[in-house]
Amino acid sequence: MSDGWTDRKRRSICNFLVNSPRGTVFLYSLDTSDISKTADKVFKMLDDVVEFVGEENVVQVVTDNAANFKAAGELLMQKREKLYWTPCAAHCIDLIFEDFEKNLKVHELTIKKGRKITTYIYGRSMLISLLKKFTKGRDLIRPGVTRFATAYLTLACLHELKASLLTMFSSEEWKTSKFGTSQEGRKVAHVVLDSRFWKNVSICLKAAAPLMVVLRLVDSDVKPAMGFIYEEMDCAKEKIRSNFNNIKKSYEEVWRIIDARWDNQLHRPLHAAAYFLNPHFHYEPNFRSDDGGEVKEGLYFCMRRMIPDMAERRKINLQIVEFHNARGLFGMEDAKECRKELNPGEWWDMFGDGTPELKRFAIRILSLTCSSSGCERNWSSFEMVHTKRRNRLHQKKMNDLVYVMYNSKLKSRQIRKTIALPFDDIESDDEWIAEETDDVVEIDQVEGENDSENVHLDGATTDPILDALDLDNITFENNEDAQAQHSSEEELDDDDDGDDDAIIRGLED
């Protein structure tokens, strides 16, 4: 897995990690500031990593979705004929969120108004105290695994704390405070007390919440996501349609945006093959093995690429029949009971002994990650190394420090059998906070023994808010029909930003 970022010294850093059924390990980082970002250069960088790890050990290389990485990935697949390049699923979903905000006016202006609420409150310490009094200590800001996910996660928090916010901005404490009597404060209160704003928050979440569930899946270490993303993306679309009462003109633009990213970037043979081999879905009545030939085409494409030996493929074809018909160990009562209890790779390890070639093939695919977001989890470690200008650590020493720091945290996590990182290890998005302190870490802190105490790893994903919010069961008041929704969107203008003529077009025909 690889991911690029820019440190505080404006250096371009590319992190490389290795993911396997036993967990994720930080490999090394490269300072790419002086390296041309052409596809050829990126290809050389990725190819060197594959060579370092050993081509026989690599099933896929996951990077972000930038055009140069896509071109480099295709070059890599041409040279390394048994492996796959796949784009990061978390990045793809983030781009969908970005497209929502860019192309759907109701999303753009509702997010802007939500940001106005949070920046106003979090820029004033007295208001933060007042907020926590009414919300019983809960915050509005929730840093997400991606920038645009942060926007929708914060809207979800606003939605969940709607009653507390309405009470706060209607209270005498607010009305008699210096903020409640100020012009800016009255504008913010007007937004919070405007029912049209909350209707549009619901409209945004009807589209975004099902995708945040998928984001939680692909960013989770609980189970490898490869066997689930194919089905979960379809489920997300169906949930969106249901959220809009199956009224096509209300959801069709949302679907179009999703399909433009999913079909062009993330719909890969590996995902279809993993869906076919996943016992969680394979024996269900609605299993789509002949979904336009797409699923089986993906399966056999992967077989030809990963298993060039025709004799071995012939064995696997015969063994697929055994798996499909649940014969042998696959038909045991224990195997049936565990189809949805075990991770797919573990299930194959337990019950696939009668089909050894298929077992190995299935485990290699079903143990794969879909996201390179794990690469981002050691950013805080790098920040501690690079914080002070007087810190002149060379690249090698920096790599050694981060290698030890990050992998020691991973090891600790594996020992405790827990998985998620806390808010402290996720960069907050300062677009949603008016004033953010810049914690300065001295170099002696980096070299001290207490650094491991900065990380407490528990939960179910690398994004705690995705666990804290019940994204599967967000409720929406007054589930309006399409005409009512469209009317609500048209009523909310962007008056807080001085544009009295800005009208929310919403989800147009």
Question: How do residues 237-295 score in pLDDT, each as one tens digit?
Answer: 999 999 999 999 999 999 999 999 988 776 789 999 999 999 999 999 999 877 668 89
pLDDT band at residue 421, thresholds of 50, 70 and 90?
very low
pLDDT at 439 over 60: no
Tell whether 242 and 299 lie within a shared domain.
Answer: no
Residue whose entry in the numeric block shows the structure tokens 């050894």: 356
Tell whether 174 and 282 lie within a shared domain.
Answer: no
Tell whether 304 and 177 lie within a shared domain.
Answer: no
Strands 493-494 and 12-20: unpaired
Domain end, chosen from 366, 392, 420, is at 366
Supply the pLDDT for residue 423: 32
Query: Is 377 domain-assigned?
Result: no
Buried b (16+ CB within 10 A) or exposed e, 166-200: eebbeeeebeebebbeeeebeebbebbeeebbbbb
pLDDT at 394 over 60: yes
Query: Is 54 domain-assigned?
Result: no
- 408 contacts 449 by C-beta, under 8 angstroms: no
Return d(Cα 203, Cα 478) in angstroms, integer. Answer: 11
Supply the pLDDT for residue 130: 94
Domain end, chosen from 319, 346, 366, is at 366
Tell whether 233 and 314 lie within a shared domain.
Answer: no
Long-range contacts formed by 398-403: CB under 8 A, 24+ apart: 398/29, 399/28, 399/29, 401/446, 402/26, 402/29, 402/378, 403/26, 403/28
What 3 state SS string does 401-414 have? HHHHHHHHHHHHHH
Query: Is 143 domain-assigned?
Result: yes
Query: Is 378 domain-assigned?
Result: no
Tell whether 304 and 321 lie within a shared domain.
Answer: yes
Q: pLDDT for 341-367, tens place per residue? A: 999 999 999 999 999 999 999 999 999
pLDDT band at residue 375, thresholds of 50, 70 and 90?
low
- Orientation angle between helical segments 356-366 and 294-306, nearest 10 degrees: 100
One DSSP character per residue, 329-373 reads: GGGSHHHHHTTTTS-HHHHHHHH-TTSHHHHHHHHHHHT--S--G
Q: Is 136 exposed, middle or buried (0-12, 13-18, 19+ CB in 10 A)?
A: exposed
Return d(Cα 337, Cα 207) in angstroms, integer. Answer: 34
Tell whether 234 and 309 lie within a shared domain.
Answer: no
Q: Say how many domains are in the chain.
A: 2
Tell whether 232 and 143 lie within a shared domain.
Answer: yes
Tell whether 146 and 211 lie within a shared domain.
Answer: yes
Query: Is 19 domain-assigned?
Result: no
Return d(Cα 175, Cα 161) in angstroms, integer. Answer: 19
Query: Is 458 domain-assigned?
Result: no
Domain end, chosen from 309, 341, 366, is at 366
pLDDT at 453 over 70: no
What 3 state SS string does 10-39 have? CCEEEEEEEEECCEEEEEEEEECCCCCCCH
Tell whether 252 and 282 lie within a shared domain.
Answer: no
Tell whether 136 and 239 lie within a shared domain.
Answer: yes
Query: Is 210 domain-assigned?
Result: yes
Tell whether 300 and 208 lie within a shared domain.
Answer: no
430 against 190, higher pLDDT: 190
- Domain interval for residue 275: 268-366
Strands 84-87 and 60-63: parallel
Query: Is 111 domain-assigned?
Result: yes
Return d(Cα 257, Cα 104) in angstroms, integer. Answer: 10
Q: pLDDT for 213-253, tens place per residue? A: 999 898 876 678 999 999 999 999 999 999 999 999 999 99
Supply the pLDDT for residue 278: 97
Residue whose entry in the numeric block shows the structure tokens 């820019």: 6
Supply the pLDDT for residue 374: 60
Tell whether 230 and 351 lie within a shared domain.
Answer: no
Q: What is the DSSP letter of 262?
A: I
- 89 contacts 266 by C-beta, under 8 angstroms: yes
pLDDT band at residue 405, thresholds of 50, 70 and 90?
confident
100 against 396, higher pLDDT: 100
